[in-house]
Structure 1
Amino acid sequence: MSETFALSDVPGAGADRAPEDRGTLDVKARAVESILCRAALDVDGSVAHSAGVGPLGGRNLPTAAVTFRGSIAVATLDVGAHWPCRAEELAATIRDTVRVEASRLSDTEITRVDVTLHVVPGSGDQSRPRRVL
């Protein structure tokens, strides 16, 4: 009859090892991209936008792409915003907030975040009355 045991029963294979000896955590690009998008939406002035229904529509915002060069990451981020807004100021705030927050949450050094703002329809300019036919 074979004896059953758990991996934690093997000496040096579980919680009895020091944390630095237990291995590493590799954060994949997709996880960092999700963190970037979430952090971008936390900035006042950025908005989520869904363009269309399912795969038939256009692009959903925000979107992110991350490129790793060793342990260093470079990110591009597309974010929606209602017009009028202070675009340069909003993009800079998003860039700085996202870099700090995503680096903290993913334990990845993000050296650059390129932000592109996209004007999306919504509650931006409500000063003119709408004409309904």
Structure 2
Amino acid sequence: MDTSATVAERSVKVDEPDTRGRLILRDRAIARIATTAALEVPGVVVQRGGLTRITGRDLPRADISTGSHSVAVNLYLGVQWPCDVPELTRRVHRKVGDQVETLTGMPLHQLGVFIAGTETETAGDDDSEYPAPAPADAVAAPRPPTAAPAAVPAAVSIAVGFLALGAIAARELLISRGTLPGAPWLRNTFEWAGRQHWHHWLVFAALAALALGILLVLLALAPRTRTHMPVRADSDTPTVWLRPVDVARLCSVEAGSVAGVAGVHTTVDRRRATVHVTAQPDAPTDDLRTSVETTVGDALAPLDRKLKLRVKIRRGKSRT
């Protein structure tokens, strides 16, 4: 047996085109090659915002049509404006054509270039060319914390009433179909109301219904009660709100730091702050009152709503 002849015959069979494997290029790969090559041309930019973000089709993008021996490309570009469109198109044709034919090995049958978006050319990318953001002239005041609307109890009662009415209506339906035994409530009620004639008490019922309706309207239009007090520290716009109990604690802490105070507690309402001080037996009352008023008054100064300050002093019992 001629071994060399057998090896040569096998090598010839391997080199035959029919026995080789095939290289399959997906359209997505060719589209990536085309868009990457287009971005290398000066003037072509990436666009991902605006309408392209809504449609989900960014620029540049390519539509590929692959044949058995050639490929056709429709290329959609975003460019900086103003630009020389004919010259830009020629550069894109040259660059994309060379890259596609070199990397895929297939001739470019057709290349269509479409300008699908423009972007205004900026002076440069240097941060120094962009002015620093100017501070706002006025800061919009946030809404202060408020209590729940006055109409909440009425709204909850009406909602519960409608739920009960729905349950009664479901009972009436089951009774009318014979599913549940018992006498219907709604039908008997309406029949009783239909048999009624004019009575003097109907005037009072109508007036009561009118008053109830007016009350509900007033509750719906009533403004919410403010539950916090705004604090203006360094600006005209309040950024911190304190509850009355927080203001009372602040007053108690400040008053407790005054020499001669043995104990203190504070009550705060919508108009005034009352500081109840228990003085030490040997502390002068007048001087202590003045010191407490000055110290607590300075602490209450940042409050947007001025409170009337009252200081009540009682002398503590001396220890023997």
Q: State how 1:23-34 maps to structure 2 within 5 Å.
A: 23-34=21-32
Q: Does 1:105 align with 2:120?
A: no
Instruction: Give, as a single letter, the amino acid of the residue that structure 1 aligns with 2:110.
Output: R
1:39 to 37, 46, 52: 37
Question: What does residue 91 of structure 1 align with?
Answer: 89
Aligned position for 2:204: none
Q: 1:82 corresponds to which residue?
A: 80
User: C-alpha root-mean-square deviation of aligned residues, in Å?
Assistant: 3.1
- Asked whether the equivalents of residues 99 and 112 of structure 1 are also in contact (C-alpha less than 8 Å), the reply is no
Render the CA deviation track for 1:21-68: whole Å, top value 9, x for unaligned.
440101121111111000100111111111249963553110001112
Q: CA deviation at 1:71?
A: 1.6
Contact 1:51 1:58 survives alignment (8 Å): no
Higher relative contact order (Cα pairs below 8 Å, separated by 6+ residues)? 1
SS in 2 for 1:82: strand
Structure 2 Cα separation of the partners of residues 95 and 54 of structure 1:
24
User: SS of the residue aligned with 1:121?
Assistant: strand
Q: How many residues align?
A: 114
Distance 2:55 2:66 in 1: 29
> Which residue of 114, 123, 128 maps to 1:116?
114
TM-superposed CA distance for 1:112, in Å, is 1.2
Structure 1, unaligned runs of 5 or more:
1-11, 127-131
Conserved 8 A contact 2:60-2:76:
yes
Q: Deviations over 1:66-121 (max 9, x none)?
A: 11232211110011111111011101110121011111111121111100123423
Partner of 2:195: none
TM alignment of 1:58-77, pairs within 5 A: 59-77=57-75
CA distance in 2, matches of 1:19, 1:101: 29
- Determine the C-alpha separation between the residues in 2 that align with 1:45 and 1:55: 21
| TM-score, normalised relative to structure 1 | 0.70
Structure 1 residues 100, 19: CA separation in 2 closer, same or farther (over 3 Å shift)? farther
TM-score (norm 2): 0.32
Q: Any gaps of 5 or more consecutive residues in structure 2? A: 1-9, 124-133, 135-320
Please say if residues 36 and 102 of structure 1, whose CA atoms lie closer than 8 Å, have aligned partners that are also in contact.
Answer: yes
Give 1:125 deviation, angstroms. 5.7
Q: Which has the higher helix share?
A: 2
Q: Residue 114 of structure 2 aligns to a residue in which SS?
A: strand
Determine the C-alpha separation between the residues in 2 that align with 1:39 and 1:116: 15
